[in-house]
Structure 1
């Protein structure tokens, strides 16, 4: 078994370890978040790459092909004499034709496989980027909340629920935690705001149906109020229906 337990993550994700290595690595997973994340991502990537690309042909494919054959001029039979003559030579020629056709099919299949792999790889890269962004945000939230000067203030939402603001002058940033009892009705959405020098600045718009969020607000030292309003989908340029406001000065 390898002396570096971290190096087993790829083999483990592909189920290419022995029983001893599997047991050791699974004990390691309980303590190593980085390996848990990487193992999960590798398993997902492997599963995606293993997906079949076969699809059911359209119902009229056979009729279309036969119609094209009927309308296509056929070449006359080959009459040239094969060097060496006889059935054996003709058989060799037939085998060469078959091998050439088989090689063409393999090349075409390899090209299709490469295209599928490229698409899948792009998706994996995109999902990895999203996961990395989420981890970065979580680390930033923990840093703000752990600041020695952090202050926490909150306000009840008009229709139930609460908005809580934890902010640090030292970090010049805050975390806005929205937890409404329900999402706004009539297709409307929550929008977050800060008030800076008397002007409302949008800090993000929730999607329709969302009732909770965790948002990082930068340059919090210049803000005096954090507010929540109810707006049309996509948000508004200025608040139209405030449901809560938290003074942070």
Structure 2
């Protein structure tokens, strides 16, 4: 979390709208940041003042008393209103106004927003975990197949490509383990080749040297190849291949 992120937490912290990690980080920070302590105190004071403005139902007799008082009170002649003069509010007063406005907005929306963000984080993590578990189970199923055929080939520059194929599962697993990434900011790209037609199966990230990739329909391919491509990959393999594993 950056310093800017920490400063931005002061409003949410004042309203207890932070998670445990954010709370711990901000509490460490606020002990060393005088400006955040001042702003936190002002937000808390403003929130307390806003909370004091409670409303209650007036007693039924009040209406009658007010109407009777109106009947007894002499009405004044209308007067022209004095012109309103705009004055620039002192800096501290403006700051309190901003704090008050922020407190009102945060009170209405911060809790819901933070809740939605946290819920999205949880959903994202659950999705990632579920996908990882699915991939792991599928990989184990393919590698445990009785008809599994395993082939390997070296990678130019060091490393190895292992291809495990199962006709019964009509799928295979390609394991790339290179000793170093391609030079010049290039990336590894995995291909299956059937006849003379290549198909991209995976583009690695810059600097990435290892991957385990499930490839459906792998037993019908003639070869698995690995190339060094510009970041983001290429639509067709760039020769020469840095590794090739014949499947037939």
TM range (shorter): 0.5 to 0.7
Q: 1:226 aligns with which of 221, 224, 227?
A: 224
| 8 A contact 2:172–2:219 mirrored in 1 | no
Deviation, structure 1 residue 108: 4.7
The 1-side partners of 2:228 and 2:180 are apart by: 12
The 2-side partners of 1:109 and 1:145 are apart by: 55
Deviation, structure 1 residue 99: 3.5
What's the secondary structure of 2:125's corresponding residue? helix
Count of matched residue positions in the alignment of Structure 1 and Structure 2? 168
The 1-side partners of 2:50 and 2:212 are apart by: 66
* Structure 1 residues 40-96: Cα deviation after superposition (integer angstroms, max 9, x where no partner): xxxxxxxx832339798989x99xxxxxxxxxxxxxxxxxxxxxxxxxxxxxxxx99
Q: 2:136 aligns with which of 138, 147, 158?
A: 138
The 2-side partners of 1:153 and 1:160 are apart by: 17
The 2-side partners of 1:97 and 1:159 are apart by: 69
Gaps of 5+ in 2: 1-17, 40-48, 56-99
| 8 A contact 1:144–1:168 mirrored in 2 | yes
Gaps of 5+ in 1: 1-47, 63-94
The 1-side partners of 2:50 and 2:124 are apart by: 45
Change (3 A) 1:211 1:99: same
1:98 matched residue in structure 2: 52
1:246 matched residue in structure 2: 245
* Structure 1 residues 132-152: Cα deviation after superposition (integer angstroms, max 9, x where no partner): 101110111000000000000
Q: Which runs of 4+ in 1 moved over 2 A?
A: 48-59, 95-102, 105-111
